[in-house]
Amino acid sequence: MEKFNKLTGVAAPLNLINIDTDMIIPKQFLKTIKRSGLGVHLFDEMRYDDAGNEVADFVLNKPQYREAKILVAGDNFGCGSSREHAPWAIADFGIRCVIAPSFADIFYNNCFKNGILPIALPQEQVDLLMDDAARGANAILEIDLDSQTIKGPDGGTISFEIDPFRKHCLLNGLDEVGLTLQKQDKIAEFEAARENAQPWL
């Protein structure tokens, strides 16, 4: 998993509440078990019309937000069914941080497993960042995970909280497999001892 330390990039405003996982990645795209290739279908039913043409006024179709790395959204982001494809699609599009007043628990946990930093902030602070994001190509935010700060385009700073263990994992690029592999020597030692003691297994 890619490490997350500092992220500087355009923030896209998506001022909607209760964005569920089917809105993030509709069910017809869940057949794959690959993490790549889903970004083009992120928010598919809002990004494209019935003929497959881009909806010009959807935020991620606007030229200034096509390369957005940060998403500022409304309350209860990621609710709905527990599909890991949702963070896969967000990450594949290029977004590494989602800021909202609150997140659905399963989606929130899945973000950390896929190198995405979800930041929950009070509504008034999200509103400030939503206003910053409305500046288009000038909507540059700087996310510093180590110091747990968000710096806005005018230099103002907002602090955020994060669980220390999840912070450690993101800073070091560790998902569950990576955490397990840190114990690889002890695992190999145990397996060798078990084979010697119980060779019939």
pLDDT per position as a tens digit, 52-71: 999 999 999 999 999 999 99
Q: Please report the pLDDT score of residue 33 as a whole number.
A: 80
Q: What's the first-to-final CA gap in the chain, in angstroms?
A: 34
pTM value surpassing 0.85: yes
Considering the domain boundaries, does residue 1 fall inside one?
A: no
Interval 132-160 mean pLDDT? 93
* Domains: count for the chain: 1
Q: Of the given ranges (22-31, 77-86, 126-135, 171-180), which has the lowest mean pLDDT?
A: 171-180
Interval 100-114 mean pLDDT? 96
Q: Please report the pLDDT score of residue 35 as a whole number.
A: 79
Q: What does each C-alpha distance from 118 to 48, 77, 187 come to in angstroms?
A: 26, 10, 32
Considering the domain boundaries, does residue 135 fall inside one?
A: yes
Q: In the predicted model, what is the mean pLDDT of the chain?
A: 91
Considering the domain boundaries, does residue 37 fall inside one?
A: yes
Considering the domain boundaries, does residue 10 fall inside one?
A: yes
Burial letters for 79-110: b for 16+ Cβ neighbours within 10 Å, e otherwise? bbeebbbbbbbbbbbebbbbbbbbbbebbbbb
Q: Please report the pLDDT score of residue 175 as a whole number.
A: 72
- For the domain that residue 134 is a member of, what is the CATH number? 3.20.19.10
Distance between CA atoms of residues 147 and 145, nearest Å: 6
Q: Which domain holds residue 94?
A: 6-197
In percent, how much of the chain has pLDDT > 70? Answer: 91
In the predicted model, is pLDDT for residue 19 greater than 60? yes
Considering the domain boundaries, does residue 186 fall inside one?
A: yes
Considering the domain boundaries, does residue 46 fall inside one?
A: yes
Considering the domain boundaries, does residue 181 fall inside one?
A: yes
Considering the domain boundaries, does residue 106 fall inside one?
A: yes
